[in-house]
Structure 1
Amino acid sequence: MRHQISAPLLALTLALSAQPALAQTPSTTPLAELVKKVDIPYESFKLANGLTVLVHTDRKAPIIGVTTYFRVGSKHEPRGKTGFAHLYEHLFFGGSENVANFDVPLEAAGSTSTNGSTWYDRTNYVETVPTGALPLALFLESDRMGHLLGAVTQDKLDKQRGVVQNEKRQGDNQPYGLLRYAETDGLFPIGHPYRHQTIGSMADLDAASLSDVRHWFTDHYGPNNAVLVLTGDIDAASARPLVEKYFGDIPAGPVVKPVVAGPVTLKAPKRVEMQDKVATTRIMRIWSGPGLNDKDAAALDMGMSVLGGLASSRLDNALVRGKQVAVSVSADFETHEQVSFLEISMDVKPGVPRAKAEAALDAEIARFLATGPNADEVKRAATRSVSAEIGALEVVGGFGGKGSTLAEGLMYSGDPAQYKKDLAELAALTPAAIKAATVRWMKRPVLAIAVTPGERKQKGELLGGWGDEATRPAPKPDAKAPVPPVPQSPPRATPEVAPVGELAFPSVEHATLSNGMPVTLARRTAVPKVLVSIGFDAGIAADSQNTPGTQGLMLSMLKEGTVKDATGGVNRSAVQVLEEEERLGASIETGSSLDTSSITLSALSTNLAPSLSLMTDVLLHPAFAPTEVARVKDQRLAALAQTMANPRGVALRAINPLLFGPNHPYGHASDGLGNAASLKALTSQDLRAAHDQWLRPDLARVTVVGDITMAELLPRLEAALGVWKAPSAAKPVKALNAALPTVRPRIVLIDRPGSPQSMIVAGKVLPVDGRAPGQEALDLANEVLGGGFLSRLNLDIREEKAWSYGVSTAVRQPLGARSMILFAPVQTDRTGDSIKAMIADMKAFPGAKPVTAEELQRVTDGNIRGLPNKFETNGQVLGAIAANERLGRPDDYYRKLPALYRSIDAKALEAKAAEYLQPEGLTFVVVGDKAKVEAQLKDVGLPVEVSGAK
Structure 2
Amino acid sequence: MRPAARRLHTAADPLNYHSFTKFPGRTAIMKLRLATTSAIALAFASAAPAYADHHAEMGKVASLQELVDEVDIPYDKFTLDNGLTVIVHEDRKAPLVGVSVWYDVGSKHEPAGKTGFAHLFEHLMFNGTENAPEDWFEYIQQMGGTDVNGTTNGDRTNYFQTVPTGALDRVLMLESDRMGHLLNAVTQEKLDNQRGVVQNEKRQGDNQPYGLLRYEIFENLFPKGHRYHHSTIGSMGDLDAASMDDVQSWFKDHYGPNNAVLVLAGDIDTATARAKVQEWFGDIPAGPEVNHPAMPVPTLAAPVTKEITDQVATTRLYRMWTVPGSNSPDAIPVGLGAAVLGGLSSSRLDNALVRKDPVAVSVAAFNWTLEDAGVFIVQADVKPGVSVDEVAAKLDAQIADFLAKGPTADELERAKVSTMAGVIRGLESVGGFGGKAPQLASGELFMGDPGFVEKQLEQMAAATPEQVTALTRQWVSRPVFNLIITPGERTEGGEDRGGAVREPTRIEDVAQANYCPGEVCDLDAMVTLSHADRSTLPPMGDLTGLDFPDIERATLSNGMEVYFARRDAVPTVSVMVEFDAGRAAETRATLGTQRLLVGVMDEGTKDLDSTALAIAQERLGANVSGSFDADWTTFTLSALSPNLAPSLELLADFIRHPGLRDSDIERVRSKLLNSLNAELKDPNSIAARALQKALFGDYPYGLPSSGLGTAATLEGLSRGDLEKFHATWLRPDNARIYVVGDTTLAESVRLLEASFADWKAPATAKPARGYDLALPQNTQRIILLDRPNSPQSIISAGRVLDFKGTDDLVLVNASNEALGGGFLARINMNLREDKGWSYGAGTGIATGLDRVSYRINAPVQADRTGDSIAEIRREIGDFVTTRGVQPNELERIINGNMRELPGQFETANDVLGGLINIVRYGRPDTYYETLADRYKNLTAAELDTIGRANFLEPSLVYVVVGDAAVVRPQLDTLGLKVEVMEIE
Q: Taking structure 1 as the reference length, what is the TM-score of the superposition?
A: 0.95
Aligned partner of 1:814 in structure 2 is 848
> How far apart are the structure 1 equivalents of 2:409 and 2:440?
31
> How far apart are the structure 2 equivalents of 1:692 and 1:749?
41
- 2:715 is aligned, of 680, 684, 697, to 680
> How far apart are the structure 1 equivalents of 2:32 and 2:322?
25
> What secondary structure, in the 3-state scheme, does the structure 1 residue paired with 2:970 have?
helix
Does 1:489 find its partner at 2:529?
yes
- 1:518 is aligned, of 551, 557, 561, to 561
> What secondary structure, in the 3-state scheme, does the structure 2 residue paired with 1:769 have?
coil
Aligned partner of 1:270 in structure 2 is 304
- 1:549 is aligned, of 574, 577, 592, to 592
Is the 1:525–1:706 contact (alpha carbons within 8 Å) kept by the matching residues of 2? yes
Aligned partner of 2:121 in structure 1 is 88
> How far apart are the structure 2 equivalents of 1:769 and 1:409?
48
> How far apart are the structure 1 equivalents of 2:683 and 2:187?
35
Q: CA shift at 1:124, angstroms?
A: 0.1
Q: Give the 5 Å matches for 1:324-343.
A: 324-343=358-377
Q: Give the 5 Å matches for 1:470-619.
A: 489=529, 492-544=535-587, 547-563=590-606, 571-619=607-655
Q: Cα deviation per residue 1:639-664 (whole Å; 9 max; x = unaligned)? A: 111111110111112111110012x1
Does 1:210 find its partner at 2:250?
no
> How far apart are the structure 2 equivalents of 1:897 and 1:783?
16
Q: Cα deviation per residue 1:729-767 (whole Å; 9 max; x = unaligned)? A: 111112324311101211111101100000111111111
Q: Give the 5 Å matches for 1:163-562.
A: 163-467=197-501, 489=529, 492-544=535-587, 547-562=590-605
Q: CA shift at 1:900, angstroms?
A: 1.2
Is the 1:94–1:156 contact (alpha carbons within 8 Å) kept by the matching residues of 2? yes
> How far apart are the structure 2 equivalents of 1:503 and 1:179?
44
Q: Cα deviation per residue 1:679-733 (whole Å; 9 max; x = unaligned)? A: 1111111011101111111111100000111111111111111111111111111
Aligned partner of 2:878 in structure 1 is 844
Aligned partner of 1:476 in structure 2 is none
Aligned partner of 2:169 in structure 1 is 135
Aligned partner of 1:99 in structure 2 is 132
Aligned partner of 1:70 in structure 2 is 103
Q: CA 1:224–1:492 in 2, change beyond 3 Å: closer, same or farther?
A: farther
Letter in 2 for 1:359: A
> How far apart are the structure 1 equivalents of 2:457 and 2:436?
15
Aligned partner of 1:752 in structure 2 is 787
Q: Cα deviation per residue 1:540-583 (whole Å; 9 max; x = unaligned)? A: 221128711112221222121212xxxxxxx1111111101100
**Worse overlay, 789-798 or 711-720:** 711-720
- 1:2 is aligned, of 3, 15, 19, to 19
Q: Cα deviation per residue 1:291-318 (whole Å; 9 max; x = unaligned)? A: 2122211110100000000011000000
Q: CA shift at 1:399, angstroms?
A: 1.8
Letter in 2 for 1:88: F
Aligned partner of 1:665 in structure 2 is 700
- 2:967 is aligned, of 905, 929, 933, to 933
Aligned partner of 1:707 in structure 2 is 742
Q: CA shift at 1:103, angstroms?
A: 1.1
Q: Cα deviation per residue 1:860-892 (whole Å; 9 max; x = unaligned)? A: 221111011111111111011111111111111
Letter in 2 for 1:45: F
Q: CA shift at 1:138, angstroms?
A: 0.2
Letter in 2 for 1:38: V
Q: CA 1:617–1:8 in 2, change beyond 3 Å: closer, same or farther?
A: farther
Aligned partner of 1:478 in structure 2 is none
**Worse overlay, 791-800 or 653-662:** 653-662
> How far apart are the structure 1 equivalents of 2:128 and 2:838?
20
Is the 1:653–1:671 contact (alpha carbons within 8 Å) kept by the matching residues of 2? no
> What secondary structure, in the 3-state scheme, does the structure 2 residue paired with 1:81 have?
coil
Q: CA shift at 1:197, angstroms?
A: 0.5
Letter in 2 for 1:574: S
Q: CA shift at 1:5, angstroms?
A: 4.1
Q: CA 1:370–1:944 in 2, change beyond 3 Å: closer, same or farther?
A: same
Aligned partner of 2:724 in structure 1 is 689
Q: CA shift at 1:26, angstroms?
A: 6.0
Does 1:45 find its partner at 2:105?
no
Q: Cα deviation per residue 1:133-155 (whole Å; 9 max; x = unaligned)? A: 00010000000000000011100
Letter in 2 for 1:680: E
Letter in 1 for 2:68: V
Q: CA shift at 1:483, angstroms?
A: 12
Letter in 2 for 1:364: Q
Q: Cα deviation per residue 1:503-525 (whole Å; 9 max; x = unaligned)? A: 11111100111111110000111
Q: Cα deviation per residue 1:818-850 (whole Å; 9 max; x = unaligned)? A: 001111100000000000100100111142222
> How far apart are the structure 1 equivalents of 2:271 and 2:663?
63
Q: CA shift at 1:181, angstroms?
A: 0.5
Identity of aligned pairs, percent? Answer: 49
Q: CA shift at 1:402, angstroms?
A: 0.6
Aligned partner of 1:734 in structure 2 is 769
Q: Cα deviation per residue 1:608-663 (whole Å; 9 max; x = unaligned)? A: 1111111100100001112211110110110111111110111112111110012x
> How far apart are the structure 2 equivalents of 1:181 and 1:87?
18
Is the 1:655–1:669 contact (alpha carbons within 8 Å) kept by the matching residues of 2? no
> What secondary structure, in the 3-state scheme, does the structure 2 residue paired with 1:359 have?
helix
Is the 2:101–2:159 contact (alpha carbons within 8 Å) kept by the matching residues of 1? yes
Q: Give the 5 Å matches for 1:806-885.
A: 806-885=840-919
Letter in 2 for 1:2: S
Letter in 2 for 1:66: V
Q: CA 1:207–1:20 in 2, change beyond 3 Å: closer, same or farther?
A: closer
Aligned partner of 2:678 in structure 1 is 642
Aligned partner of 1:631 in structure 2 is 667
Give the number of aligned pairs: 922
Is the 1:215–1:484 contact (alpha carbons within 8 Å) kept by the matching residues of 2? no
Is the 1:211–1:483 contact (alpha carbons within 8 Å) kept by the matching residues of 2? no
Is the 1:131–1:233 contact (alpha carbons within 8 Å) kept by the matching residues of 2? yes
Letter in 1 for 2:308: M
Is the 1:544–1:734 contact (alpha carbons within 8 Å) kept by the matching residues of 2? no
Q: CA shift at 1:369, angstroms?
A: 0.6
Aligned partner of 2:508 in structure 1 is none
Is the 2:285–2:527 contact (alpha carbons within 8 Å) kept by the matching residues of 1? no
Q: CA shift at 1:501, angstroms?
A: 2.4
Q: CA 1:853–1:707 in 2, change beyond 3 Å: closer, same or farther?
A: same
Is the 2:585–2:770 contact (alpha carbons within 8 Å) kept by the matching residues of 1? no
RMSD: 1.9
Aligned partner of 1:474 in structure 2 is none
> How far apart are the structure 1 equivalents of 2:475 and 2:502?
28
> How far apart are the structure 2 equivalents of 1:882 and 1:310?
30
Q: CA 1:121–1:356 in 2, change beyond 3 Å: closer, same or farther?
A: same
Q: CA 1:726–1:545 in 2, change beyond 3 Å: closer, same or farther?
A: farther
> How far apart are the structure 1 equivalents of 2:822 and 2:911?
22
> How far apart are the structure 2 equivalents of 1:483 and 1:673?
59
Q: Taking structure 2 as the reference length, what is the TM-score of the superposition?
A: 0.92
Q: CA shift at 1:288, angstroms?
A: 0.6
Aligned partner of 1:654 in structure 2 is 690
Any gaps of 5 or more consecutive residues in structure 2? 1-17, 21-28, 35-45, 505-521
> How far apart are the structure 2 equivalents of 1:848 and 1:223?
47
